[in-house]
Amino acid sequence: MTKGERISRFVAELAGAPVEEDGAEIAHHPCYTGFFRCWNEQRYYEAHDVLEHLWLKTTSGDANYFKGLIQAAGAFVHLQKQFEHPAHRVHGRRLGPAVRLFRLAEKNLTPYAPVRYGFDVAGLLALIQGKAGAIEQSEFTRNPWSPENAPQLSLL
């Protein structure tokens, strides 16, 4: 089974129905809504994978929007891993890569603010700027993420 087939199956499980690759309006596309569901369940890696499945097939001007959301999820993967294993030789050094991904996400998402496809892009930008700023202010010594304060994203 290819990664694409695996993700399609995963998205179908999330959506409760087969993934219709073509014709789905973006705001209701199972990969798009699945991204938010995974994010809110603190499954950032899966959120990244689900939206990447849609991003790779995108030929419209939405590619950078999806890329920015994927980068934001990737940054939270770094924060989550660092939180879970702060003394680990690899995971303990994930705050710098998280900030770099936050900055890339900010660059890619800014043109789509304030709202895109029923999502408060401006709110996400404020969130990622705050997290990146907190990490930088601590000189990369404090992780502002924990399971208890994990941000929730919702469609309007």
Average pLDDT over residues 102-120: 97
pLDDT at residue 47 in the model:
96
Confidence of residue 127 (pLDDT cuts 50, 70, 90): very high
CATH classification for the domain delimited by 3-149, as one of 1.10.3720.10, 1.10.3450.10, 3.40.50.970, 2.160.10.10: 1.10.3450.10
Alpha-helical runs (H) found in the chain:
3-15, 30-40, 44-55, 63-84, 95-109, 121-137
Secondary structure of residue 122 in the 3-state scheme? helix
pLDDT at residue 98 in the model:
98
Highest mean pLDDT among 5-19, 47-61, 117-131: 117-131
- The yes-or-no verdict on residue 11 having pLDDT over 80 is no
Lowest pLDDT segment from 20-29, 61-70, 108-117:
20-29
**Beta bridge partners of residue 116, listed in sequence order:** 119
Q: Which residue has the higher pLDDT, 9 or 73?
A: 73
pLDDT at residue 14 in the model:
62
